[in-house]
Amino acid sequence: MGATSGAFPLEKTTIEDLASLCKVLWGWSDCALCSVQNPCSGISSCSWHRFKSLAPFFDHYRDMTKRYLPDFMGSPQALRNHADLREIIGMIRSNPDTPLSDLTNQCFHGSGTAYPSPPATTDQHRAFSLALHMMSMVTVAAHYSDIDDLEAALLPEVWSDNVSPTRYLDIVLQGQNSVNGGASLGPAQGLAQSLEVNRVLKWLKAKRLSKIAKLGFEPTNNLNDHLKLDKKRGVVKLFRHAAFLKEQLLASRLAQEKTATSLFEGQMSRQYALEVLHSIQDVLFPPDAKSQAFLRSLVSEQEMDPDCTLYNRSEYELEGEDDVTYQWLGPRLMDLYEELENPTPRGLLDQWLERKSRARHVMLATVIGVFVAVFLGILSLIVGIIQTWIAWQQWKAPPGNGQ
């Protein structure tokens, strides 16, 4: 493909682009027996039958790439077509521990590259951020990122020149909560908490959270937002792309890379991916009829990936992974439990009652209560006096006396 010169060079995505994306992301290989349009059905050695189930992920890819806008200041654009983006993804996959500045040098500078002169630094960073996002589904903030594209409150750590892709994802996934003032995530703190978390899991069905704590659920494209609780709006974020996570796990299982600490052994920690999937399929929406109906409503009304209703663990899990401990997501699950125990008042009546129940209002209520009791006492005394007077009158002159 030649260089595209439109304002949005990645505006159009072909089915071939998506097929090549699968190859570079997960190592899918060509199959002699089928095509993307007519894949083999149910043959485990051929990956292409899973192509269709990745549709929500492909939609997100289209959405992200079509908005890529290069700098137009005389320098060449960092991404001229989808192949350029795949080139960068491949480069990150093979060099997960190389600092960003070395990666951009390797890609854009020097005689061996496909660029006549290096693109603007902002554009280089934008291209690498987009590539890393599509590989991990984590929100990646480029050095000079367009703030408009990201909700300011959720803005994660900026990817600095001296930080490698692996390290960057580690920072974002571990440190996001502490940045936002909440509990810090991470295996070390998580392990200590896991017993406590295990104890409360059975209470955290989505149905219960919705009924008791009045919480709603909102799909997100950002892995780092999964299970994030927005108390003000009464909303819990759910990572949308189940098929993407399963594909990551499958790719890493096939490579027999099992690790809980390095994010790029199989591109993302198996542990993290498993926790996200299990938190949806075991904790929030276990396989009972009511939970399943609730999950299906999120699929049809809120565009959760339909694949999240497919409980096909044996296809991507390794031995011993069916029982997951929540080392990363523990603090967020505890936040949900806390919200269940002490729901934030949301309705108008709830808020009124909440205000009235504070200490000084309790005092005020007691004083009012005393006055009411005294008033009622006086009232019943008056009634008593009247009754006595009537009885006395009747005794003096009984009715039917004839006088």
Residues in the site for Zn ion, rule: CB under 5 A? 31, 33-34, 40, 46, 48
Minimum separation from the CB atom of position 47 to Zn ion (A): 8
**CA–CA separation, 215 vs 332, rounded Å?**
14
- Of the candidates 182, 99, 89, 174, the one whose C-alpha atom is nearest the C-alpha of residue 136 is 89
Q: Name residue 149's amino acid.
A: D
**CA–CA separation, 245 vs 322, rounded Å?**
15
Locate tokens 């995505």: which residue? 13
Q: Which residue, 29 or 297, has its beta carbon nearer to Zn ion?
A: 29
**CA–CA separation, 122 vs 104, rounded Å?**
11
User: Could you say which DSSP state residue 234 is in?
Assistant: T
* The 235-239 sheet, strands edge to edge: 216-220, 235-239, 229-230
Minimum separation from the CB atom of position 31 to Zn ion (A): 3
Residue 347 exposure: Cα atoms within 13 Å on the Cβ side: 6
Q: Which residue, 30 or 63, has its beta carbon nearer to Zn ion?
A: 30
Phi first, then psi: give them for residue 239, nearest 5 degrees.
-65, 125
Minimum separation from the CB atom of position 307 to Zn ion (A): 20
Q: Which residue, 31 or 150, has its beta carbon nearer to Zn ion?
A: 31
Minimum separation from the CB atom of position 16 to Zn ion (A): 16
Minimum separation from the CB atom of position 325 to Zn ion (A): 37
Q: Which residue, 19 or 40, has its beta carbon nearer to Zn ion?
A: 40
Q: Which residue, 46 or 134, has its beta carbon nearer to Zn ion?
A: 46
Q: Which residue, 40 or 55, has its beta carbon nearer to Zn ion?
A: 40
Q: Which residue, 40 or 155, has its beta carbon nearer to Zn ion?
A: 40
Which residue of this chain has its Cβ atom nearest to Zn ion in the complex? 31
**CA–CA separation, 172 vs 139, rounded Å?**
8
Pull the structure tokens for residue 382.
């008056």
Helix axes 121-136, 15-26, angle to 10 degrees: 80
Minimum separation from the CB atom of position 202 to Zn ion (A): 42
Minimum separation from the CB atom of position 35 to Zn ion (A): 8
